[in-house]
Amino acid sequence: MDMVQVSIELPREIFSALRQDPAGFVREMRVAAAVKWYENKVISQSKAAEIAGLSRSEFINALNQFKVSPFQYNADEIVSEVTDR
């Protein structure tokens, strides 16, 4: 897999305020971003799991922790999709 490294600068104090080391912060930031992008229907569940560095089942657990539904469609949208065919 072709990878790109992204670098951001943050004040050192942020890590102590969050009680995390830089590696833990990066892991949490990847999960949080992937969950938000998934919630906003920007990416699929499998792509979100990949971005988060998690398996799909681990990502579904992360969705639960963030109180985000693992389903991108609600019941009305599913019914509409099925009946419009």
**How far does Cα 10 stand from its chain's mean position?**
21
The pTM for the full model equals: 0.81
Task: Judge whether 68 and 61 are in contact, CB under 8 Å.
Answer: no
Classify 17 as helix, strand or coil. Answer: helix
Angle, to 10 degrees, between the axis of helix 45-52 and the axis of helix 22-39?
170
Calculate the CA dihedral of residues 16, 19, 23, 27 and round it to 10 degrees.
Answer: -130
pLDDT by 10s per residue, the chain, length 85: 798 999 999 999 998 888 999 999 999 999 999 999 999 999 999 999 999 999 999 999 999 999 999 988 777 877 787 887 6
Q: Residue written as tokens 């072709």?
A: 2
Q: Residue written as tokens 């590696």?
A: 23
